[in-house]
Every structure is written in structure tokens, then in C-alpha cells.
């Protein structure tokens, strides 16, 4: 079972994934598209995880053309003051390409509380990624 994260994952097998790395007794890797059942405290995997393609950043539609990552220092500093755990926030990263950049927010799951906390930074946020996405009929 994966360790070190905020979400307990049951029914996980490293034999079912590719691209994992191993060093000094620790295994990690990903990202993987994981389908399972969330009971509010843990995720039980119900299908074999599949690799997820890398984030595609399109400089033509970037929120801030002609910028560099230093332009997001103040916003990232203010975001770092939020209670990441209570709103399920995992990270904020700046992606840059061809002179354009944007802030990418990664979180466990989309929620009204998360969006409310991030609302003051909406103009700087280019993209959201969510670890858990609700699926109907799964």
C-alpha cells in the first residue's frame, strides 16, 4: 500500500502498476488514474490503476503571457498560509513554457470550501488537478 500521503489506500498492489521507482526500501511513482470507492476516510481500489499522462501546459492559453515563475512568488506565499489539510490542498506549482506561465493547483478533491479559499487567487490560477474525481455509475 502507498504510504506518506494524506489518504489511506486499501487494496493496492505495486504489482499492478508500472513506472514505480524503488530506492532504500521505499517505493514511489505515478501519477496513476485510480478508481475506487471513497468512504470519507479511505479509498479502496476497485480497478487496476492506469498511468496518467503528464500535465499538458498550453502556453497559448496561459493565464499570464510573457511572465516568469518569480511573478507568482507573492501568490504562492499567500497560498502557503492556507490550511492545506483541511481543504485537501496538495500543492501549487508554476508551469512555464515559451515565455508564458500559469499556476497549477493540485488537490485531493474539488470542493466548495477549496474553491472559496482559493478565490482570492483565481486570476493567477491557470489549472486545477484533483487526485479524486467523482464518477457516476462506477
- Count CA atoms within 13 Å of residue 108 on its CB side: 17
pLDDT tens digits, one per residue of 70-81? 778 888 899 899
H or E, element range at 84: helix 84-87
- Count CA atoms within 13 Å of residue 134 on its CB side: 6
Average pLDDT in the 120-134 region? Answer: 73
pLDDT tens digits, one per residue of 23-69? 887 787 777 778 888 887 788 888 888 876 655 555 455 556 667 67
**pLDDT exceeds cutoff 80 at 120:** yes
Average pLDDT in the 5-31 region? Answer: 80
pLDDT at site 63: 57
Using CA atoms, how far apart are residues 41 and 43, in angstroms rounded to an integer? Answer: 7
More confident residue, 64 or 107: 107
**pLDDT exceeds cutoff 70 at 136:** no
pLDDT at site 30: 74
Amino acid at each position: 500500500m502507498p504510504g506518506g500521503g494524506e489518504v489511506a489506500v486499501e487494496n493496492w498492489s505495486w504489482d499492478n502498476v508500472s513506472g514505480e521507482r524503488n530506492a532504500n526500501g521505499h517505493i514511489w511513482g505515478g501519477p496513476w488514474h485510480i478508481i475506487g470507492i471513497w468512504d470519507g476516510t479511505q479509498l479502496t481500489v476497485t480497478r487496476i490503476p492506469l498511468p496518467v499522462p503528464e500535465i499538458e501546459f498550453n502556453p497559448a492559453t496561459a493565464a499570464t503571457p510573457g511572465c516568469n515563475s518569480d511573478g507568482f512568488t507573492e501568490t504562492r506565499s499567500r497560498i502557503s498560509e492556507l490550511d492545506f489539510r483541511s481543504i485537501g490542498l496538495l500543492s501549487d506549482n508554476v508551469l512555464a513554457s515559451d515565455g508564458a506561465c500559469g499556476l497549477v493547483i493540485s488537490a485531493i478533491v474539488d470542493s466548495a470550501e477549496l474553491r472559496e479559499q482559493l478565490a482570492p487567487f483565481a486570476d493567477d490560477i491557470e489549472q486545477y488537478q484533483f487526485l479524486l474525481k467523482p464518477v457516476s455509475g462506477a
